[in-house]
Amino acid sequence: QVLALNYGSKNELSRAFKSLLESPPSHISLLESLENEISNRLDTHDLPEVDLLLRTGGEMRLSNFLLWQSSYAELFFTPILWPDFTPKDLENIISDFYKRVRKFGELKC
C-alpha cells in the first residue's frame, strides 16, 4: 500500500530527467533501455507496476498523479466519494478489472 502526500507526477518526472541529464548512463541503445533508466529514477522505482488506478468523486482525470507509472494501468472512475466508498464497491471494480483484456499499449487490429 502506498500513501502519496503532496505528490506531483510532473515534478517527479522533471527530477528524473534532470538526474538522467546530470549522470547519464554510459550507453543507451534502445528506447526500452531509456524507459528503464527513467523508471529507475522515479520516486516509485521500487514499487510494482500500477495495474489498476481508481479515481473516486466523479472526476475523470488523473490530476498529475502517477502519469508515467499508470501508462498501462486500467483506469476506473466512480462518482462515489471516498468517504462513502465501501469494500463492496472495490470488489465490484476488481471484478470488472479481471474481465478486461489488458493490452499494455499494444494495438490489436
Same domain, 56 and 106: yes
Same domain, 80 and 109: yes
Give me the percent of the chain exceeding a pLDDT of 70: 90
| 104 compared with 86, residue with greater pLDDT | 86
Shared domain for 36 and 1, answered yes or no, is yes
What whole-number distance in Å separates Cα of residue 21 and Cα of residue 13?
12
**Whole-model pTM?**
0.79
Task: Summarize pLDDT for 73-96 with one digit per residue, the tens.
Answer: 999 999 999 999 999 999 999 999
Q: Name the domain count of the chain.
A: 2
d(CA 44, CA 60) in angstroms, rounded, equals 23
Range of 33's domain? 1-47
Same structural domain, 34 and 13: yes
